[in-house]
Each structure stands twice: as structure tokens, then as C-alpha cells.
Structure 1
Amino acid sequence: MVRSRSFFFSNHRGVILANVILTRVNNKDKILMKFLKAFLLISAIALISLSSTLAFENKLVGYWSFDEGKGSPKDASGNENHGKIAGEPRWVDGKFGKALEFDGKDDHIVVKDHPTLDFTKNLTIMAWFMPKEVMTKRRMMSKNDSIFVMFDFGDSNTIDLLVKPNNDFVESKTSDWKVDQWYHFAGTYDGKFLRLYVDGKLEGEKKYGEGIAPSDLDFWIGGDDYGRPTDHFPGIIDEVRIYKHALNENQIQKVKEAPAMLQADGNSTTIWGAIKSLQ
């Protein structure tokens, strides 16, 4: 006889739903019982790991997955930092779901300034991107007078995280970027160090304790608001996330590979479809 029952595991970060099969067995069902025990053990370990991994998700202040496929990009962080499209970026297939392709001339997204997007001591900014051209001084994301994620193609061929007011920056070791290939970028600041990760691996670190300048300017994706068309990024951008928290390498690796398993909802987090993703 086989019965199914759902259990809810909860803590201050959210609720986890697990569907568990309960089985009454006779001697002929011992193999099935061994399988179920193994499944429950693996699931329990995954749930514990997932719960600890998601401790930082309440620091998520902006998340643009671009999975709408039309209209305006929505912020899924719960902070309503929705974007407005400028120019004519194209909806295309992304690393996960849909994404936006920018022409490198005037295409960009504008997210209006909001207190949740002001950074001073703690920051993680990340995205998947696919360059369509290799050019210098292209801004992928920016909040002028505060932070820039920019490509130094043509000079050192690196990707940089630059912060104001002193224009301090940390750069990648990677310099051989391929057109039409996906890469993941993450830049962090914890009040003491700027760090830069490419494809989940630490590539740059710089001591910096002077903080990030606050800015009342808008956050841009695909360019910056200095009005220079040559600053715009030519390529595809997907899964942009901003945290008021410096994620570590392990956290960045998990988020970059399974971005859709986390769905922020105000100050709580709903976890769904996660066990299979993390096993």
C-alpha cells in the first residue's frame, strides 16, 4: 500500500515543501523501502544545505530575469524596482529562459533610483552575459557616481568593477573573451575588499576600505547615462541580481547555476523546485 503526504519545513527565511511517499511494505518490497530511505536521506541533506545557502536572499534588492519575453522587465526581488526599456533591445533566448540583446548604440534599461539601490559598504552585483562584439570601455551595468561594471576591451581586455568616489576598481584575469559565448560576472564589496568573479571563480581582489559613494541617479543595464553611445554594451544580458550583501564564492556558484530556484517575496523566501537542482 502506497500513500503520499506533504510536509512543510519552515524557519524565519521561508517555507520548504517536500512531498514524501509513505509505504507499507511486506518482504517483497524491501528494495523499494531501501530506495525510499535513500531518497529521504538525500532530500533531507539537500534541504538543510539549501536553507543555509538561502540565508542571504533577504538581502536581494533587485532581480531582473527578463523571462517576461515582452513588455517591461520586472523586478522579482519584491522591491518593485521595475525597468523601463529605452531604444529597441530584442527579446531573445537567454542562459535561462529569455534575455535581452542590446545593440551597443542606444539600447538600455533604466531602473529608477530607489533607497534599496543605494550602496555604501555591502554589495554583490552579477549577471550572465554574451558579448556580440569585442570593444573597449563598454558599460554593462552602471549607477553613475556610485558603481560601474565595465569592459576594458581593447586595453587590458578585462572586465572591471569600478566604484566611486575614488574610481577604485578590481579587474578580471580573464582577457580572452569569445563572441557569442556565455560568461557569468559577479562583483562584490564587503567594506574591506573589492572582489571579482568570472564563471563563479575568484579572479580579482583589492583591498579598499573607503566605501561606495551613494548616488541618487538611476541604475542602468546595457549602458550608462553619460550620454555617450560608445559606452553602451553590444550583446545579451540575462539574470541580473543585486544584493546588499557580499556573497562568497560558494554562494555565487550556487546562485549562478540555479537562478530560478530562488524567488524572493518581501522579507521571506519561497523555495521550490530546489532539491533536484542542488543534487
Structure 2
Amino acid sequence: MKYSIVSIILLLALNTTATAAPTRVIRYSELILPDKPIAYWQMQANKQGQFHNHLAIAQPLTATTTGKTSTADGPTAPIHPGFGKENNPALGIPTSTGYLVVDDPGNNSPLDFTSGDDITIEAWISPTKLNGFQYIVGKGRTGRSGFPAENHNYALRLTASGNLTFLFRSRTKTGEEQYHRWTSTDSIIAGDGWHHVAVTYTFGKTKNIHGYIDGQRAYGKWDLGGDTGAPPVVDNDQLWIGSALSGNPNSTFEGAIDEVAIYRHRLTAVQIATRYSYQEQTPEFNVKQIPENEVLVQIFEGVNDKSFLSRSPQLTDQYTTSTFAFFQIPNKYNAQGIKIDRSSPFMIRAYGNAVIPTGTHRILVRARNGARLFIDGELKATVPFFNISSKASGAIFEVHHDLAPSIRGLQRGDSEVVLTIEGDGQQHLLRFEMIVGGGKRRPETGETAVCIATENGEFSLLSDHIDVTLTNEPWLEFKRKSHKEINAIDRKNRLAVTTTERDYWHRRHVVAHDIISNLPKLIPPKPVFHESIQNPIDQFINARLGSAKQTPQPLIDDYSFIRRLA
């Protein structure tokens, strides 16, 4: 029987479809092992707390635990598809008190690098706190007896600002030694999940270091000791993962470390890019959460400084307000009712509904820092990030009235953009986002607002139920009212988080009252300065003032009292 070419192709296609095997999930280790590292720790501890090198080489290079460590959750799908959904343990260092130790097998071991040697170090890291120079991996500088204090063969670290840094100590032919440190311009932030970092370098040569963060080239500079062709210091000191300097807390990584690999050759940018996988998880939001005629404001911490591409932002608070105007954000309190800082920066994301009248309209968006406005899920406006110099010699800008005859001047530090849209007289969902603080900036919102031009040419807040014109008098009055509303939210929140603390002090007051009630009763002195007596204690104070020929001072308000204390 003969078959046409088309028939044969169809039969083959049908047969392939019928017998095709399920797609096999590639394990992350299958990306690493073909590139032949000399050491690869997947951070899967055995019952003895040891972390084996997952390579069959003559020297086992087993890592042992020192101090307090834990098992953390490593990167997994769906956020990091390259790892699959199965459990992936990682090395957890929760309190900067633990690390791993790997003994150097001896002279000319796989862990020793000298002039002319290529090195690649890579790891997945999830820092929860940044302080000092936190070690990911380093050889030497352990502080052990019998070795020089400054003997770094190599080290990969993070700075307090989240920059990637590579460090080693050189030794010239005359015996002179010096540290050389390369630091990336790009950085990561603490608390936003897992990142892949890597560095490639050839010792003894200049202008060849390459750093990588999340699969992308991270440029930087030699900010200590300069670029050098001098050979590195080499000895048989240990390799540590997660710390150095005798376990100094300022040098110890805080967070989690996974998939540490070291190579005696340079990986290419393409190879390193294959390591990184990340799938942004779009936050779900139900519009029914928005109260009628109000704006729901969510506060996210753990965001990027100058980007809205946050890895794992944490929703830490939310509140409602009347419209899209932000002069002040509610405070954050601890269990004792003391105001504490949010992460710097943090992000506000506000949702609300508003009718956009029929016709062509101008929308004005003002913001203190980078901001975005979405209408029905579509990005409509972007305000640039804060870029004004902090120097006192900055220029003073004139107030312009090009947009509207009596518009309130743009406040120093704020930026504005104007867009033109076609309204249909229908209600639309607005989403406004702004990064607050970050870098050396104070966490302030300035006079952030979303406004729409009215028929008389002025701008007013984009709202269906509040009419506030963007001119000085009504705007300042609305600003004062908004401050009072936020202060009321602060009082409510402070009471809510201090229930345990208030119960504790109530019990103490009850005990104190019982003790005092059994003491002999004090008889207040003869009243003087009757107009200044608010309670029995004042009688004692006034009596002392009278004997000193002094008079009571008038009462002041709380804020004046606090200012005098300060």
C-alpha cells in the first residue's frame, strides 16, 4: 500500500500526538550542573545539620553549621517557575547569628584562586534586613587563630543599601597588601523576596569584572583600592557562607540563602540569565471593597525606591478617605502605642469611583514622588520620580498660572502632569499609586491630588460628592480638614493596637490605687491662687509657688507643651 506524502505526515502527527509524554519539569540543578561548578550547595541539610556539596569530586567540601540557623522556604513556582512547585528548603539565618563553614582541603585546592584564575560565584538570596556588609560567601577573613586577620581570597557581599559587592585582598611581589572592592550601582531591597546574584572575575587582570542581579548585568565601580592586576592573597583558611569576621553580626547575612555555586571559569551573560525566573503575581482586588463615595487607600511596604516593579510588596495597612487628595498618611504604631517608621520607601495605592463628565476634559495629577494614574485599569498618567537637589542653593521657581487663572501654585518638591481625556458621563474606576520616601527623602506626600478642569477654567478635586477648587483659600481649608481626619484615624489606630498595653497599665493602676488607699490621707495645704486649681495636686504646687513668691503660669495646649520639652 502506498501513502502520499501528506498522508504519511498526518499519520506521523497523529502517532506523535497519541504517544507524546508529559512535559518534564526541569529541575533548577539541571541548569547548574552542566556548567561544571567546583562547588554547589543546594542548602538541603542532613540529620546532622550538614550541607553537602552536590558534586562528586575528590574533596567533599561539606558545609557545617555554626551558630543559629534554620530551614527557610526557598524560591518556588509560581513566583519562580524555574524551581517548580515542590518544596525547596534553603538556609535560613533569622537573627544574624549563624553561618556555614567549609574547610579548605589544603594547598592548591578547588577553593583557592590566584593570578590568572577565573571565578564565578552565584547564589539566590532573600535578605530580610540590611546592615553593614553582609556576607553571602567568602574565603578567608574568618578571624581564626593561625591565619592573618586580613586574608580575603574572595568574597561576595551586600552593602547596607543592598548593592552587590565583590572584595579581595591583593599582595604585590614586594609583599604589600591592599583590599580591592567593586560595588554595583544597582541594588536590591530587603524583604521583597528572592533574588539571584552573581559575579565573574579574572584575577590578575583589569577591566574584566561583571556583576549580575536577577539575570541582568549590574554595572558598578571599584570604590576601594581600585582595579588591579595584582594577585590575590591565598591560604588555607576556611570558606564561610553567610558571615565573616568571627561571626560579627554586622557581617552576617540576615535572611535566607540558597543554591550557592562556585566555578573555576567565567559563566557568560546568557548562562547567568537562564538562572533567573520570576513571574509577577498580579494582586487581586474586589471593587466591592470600595465604600460608596469614599476612596480606599492601601499602604504597601517593601517596595522599590524608583520603580513600581516591586517584587513582593506587603500590604501593611489601609484606610478610607474622602477623595484623591493626600497631604498626610496615617502613622504606624507598635504595641506600646509608639509611632514607628514604615519601610522607606512605601507605596500608597488608592481606589475610588468617579464620574467623568461628557466631553473633552483635562486631568491634573500632582505628586511629591513617582506616581501613576489608572482609569478602568488602563495607565493614563505617570508622574516622574523626585529629582530635585537637596542643596540649599536650589533655584526658586515662579508660580505659573498657565493651567488655570487662579490655580494654587505647585508646591516645592511636587511635580505635575496634565492629560486630556474624553468623558462619557459614566462612572469609572480610578487607581492612583505613589512611592513615598525612599533614599534620603522624608516620607511626605506634599500636596498630592488628582483634579479635573471645570467649566470656569479652574481645577477641582476629581470627586462626585466633594467640591474643592484648587485655589488657595478653599484648598487650604480642605487641607486643614484632611489633617484632622488623619489625626482621628491615628487616634483610632493607636487605641486598637495598644489594647494589651492599656490592660497592663490598668492593672498596675488598680494595684497602685489599692496601695495608696491604705496609706494615711494627705491633707492639702490651704488653697492659694484659686483660679489655678484644677485638682488637689495643684494645691500642693501652688503652696510651694506661694512660698517662693512665684505665680502659676497659664495653661498651654498639648502641642506647645511638647515643643517646649523638645
TM-score of the superposed pair, with normalisation by structure 2: 0.35
1:138 shift after superposition: 1.6
Is the CA contact (8 Å cut-off) linking 1:56 and 1:245 kept in structure 2? no
Match of 1:174 in 2: 186
- For residue 201 of structure 1, report the CA deviation from its aligned partner: 1.3
- Specify the code of the residue in structure 2 equivalent to 1:128: W
2:56 matched residue in structure 1 = 78
Distance in structure 2 (CA, Å) of the matches to 1:56 and 1:215: 29
2:131 — aligned with what? 135
Q: Does 1:64 align with 2:41?
A: yes
State the Cα deviation string for residues 219-271 of structure 1 (Å, max 9, x = none). Answer: 101101434232111010000000011111111122455xxxxxxxxxxxxxx
Shift in Å, 1:61: 0.9
AA at the equivalent of 2:56: G
Tell me the distance in 1 between the aligned counterparts of 2:89 and 2:46: 6
In the other structure, the counterpart of 1:100 is 91
User: For residue 164 of structure 1, what is the aligned residue in structure 2?
Assistant: 169
C-alpha deviation, 1:182, in angstroms: 1.1
Distance 1:56 1:212 in 2: 28
Amino acid at match of 2:165: D
Task: Provide the residue aligned with 2:70 in structure 1.
Answer: 90
Structure 1 residue 198: Cα displacement: 0.7
1:191-202 equivalences in 2 (<5 Å):
191=203, 192=205, 193-202=208-217
Change (3 A) 1:250 1:86: same
Structure 2 partner of 1:203: 218
Match of 2:156 among 134, 149, 158: 149
Distance 1:131-1:30 versus aligned 2 partners, 3 A rule? same
Report the CA distance shift for 1:220/1:73 in structure 2 as closer, same or farther (over 3 A): same
1:174–1:36 Cα change, 3 Å? same
Q: Could you tell me which residue of structure 2 aligns to residue 260 of structure 1?
A: none
Bigger strand fraction: 1
Structure 1 251/65 Cα, relative in aligned 2: closer, same or farther at 3 Å?
same
Query: Residue 133 of structure 2: SS of its match in structure 1?
Result: strand
What residue is the counterpart of 1:223 in the other structure? 243
- Partner Cα separation in structure 1 for residue 254 and residue 32 of structure 2: 33
Q: Secondary structure at the match of 2:43?
A: coil
Structure 1 residues 230 and 123: CA distance shift in structure 2, 3 A: same
* Deviation, structure 1 residue 33: 2.3
SS at match of 1:116: coil
Percent identical pairs in the alignment equals 26
Q: Against the structure 1 CA distance between its residues 106 and 174, is the aligned structure 2 distance closer, same or farther, given a 3 Å change threshold? A: same
After TM superposition, the structure 1 stretch with the greater mean CA deviation from structure 2, 232-241 or 136-145, is: 136-145
Aligned partner of 1:111 in structure 2 is 102
> How far is the alpha carbon of 1:171 from its aligned partner?
1.6
Q: Structure 2: where are the runs of 5+ without partners?
A: 21-30, 76-82, 141-150, 171-177, 222-226, 278-566
Residues 1:251 and 1:28: Cα distance change in structure 2 (over 3 Å) = closer
The unaligned stretches of length 5 or more in structure 1 are: 1-24, 41-52, 258-279
Q: Give the 3-state SS of the residue equivalent to 2:272 in structure 1.
A: helix
User: Does the 8 A contact of 1:69 with 1:91 survive in 2?
Assistant: no
Match of 2:468 in 1: none
Q: Deviation of residue 103 (structure 1)?
A: 2.8
| Amino acid aligned to 1:149 | L
- Residues 244 and 104 from structure 1, CA distance in 2 versus in 1: closer, same or farther, beyond 3 angstroms? farther
Letter in 1 for 2:199: G
Paired residues of 1:62 and 1:75 also in contact (CA < 8 A): yes
Which has the bigger relative contact order, CA under 8 A and spacing at least 6?
A: 1
The answer on whether the counterparts of 2:136 and 2:157 sit within 8 Å (CA) in structure 1 is yes
In the alignment, is the contact (CA less than 8 A) between 1:158 and 1:171 conserved in 2?
yes
State the AA in 1 paired with 2:111. L
Cα gap change, 1:205/1:249 in structure 2, threshold over 3 Å: closer, same or farther? farther
Query: Counterparts of 1:69 and 1:237 in 2: how far apart (Å)?
Result: 17
Cα shift readout 1:116-158 (whole Å, capped 9, x = no counterpart):
100122100110000111222222211122112122215xx41
State the secondary structure of the residue aligned to 1:226: helix
**Could you say if the C-alpha distance between residues 195 and 81 of structure 1 is closer, same or farther in structure 2, counting changes exceeding 3 Å?**
same
1:123 paired residue number: 119
Q: Could you tell me how far apart the structure 2 residues matched to 1:164 and 1:252 are?
A: 26
C-alpha distance in 1 between matches for 2:242 and 2:119: 19
Tell me the alpha carbon deviations over residues 48-84 of structure 1, each in whole angstroms, 9 at most, x when there is no partner: xxxxx989733x1110001347531110122311110
- What residue in structure 2 maps to residue 49 of structure 1? none
Task: Tell me the CA shift for residue 180 of structure 1.
Answer: 3.7
> After alignment, is 28-37 or 223-232 more displaced?
28-37
Distance in 2 of aligned mates of 1:179 and 1:54: 26
Q: Secondary structure at the match of 1:127?
A: strand
Structure 1 residues 105 and 252, CA gap change in structure 2 (3 angstroms): same
In structure 2, the partner of 1:233 is: 253
1:205 deviates by 5.7
Letter matched to residue 199 of structure 1: D
Larger radius of gyration: 2
Quote the Cα distance in structure 2 between the aligned partners of 1:127 and 1:54: 11
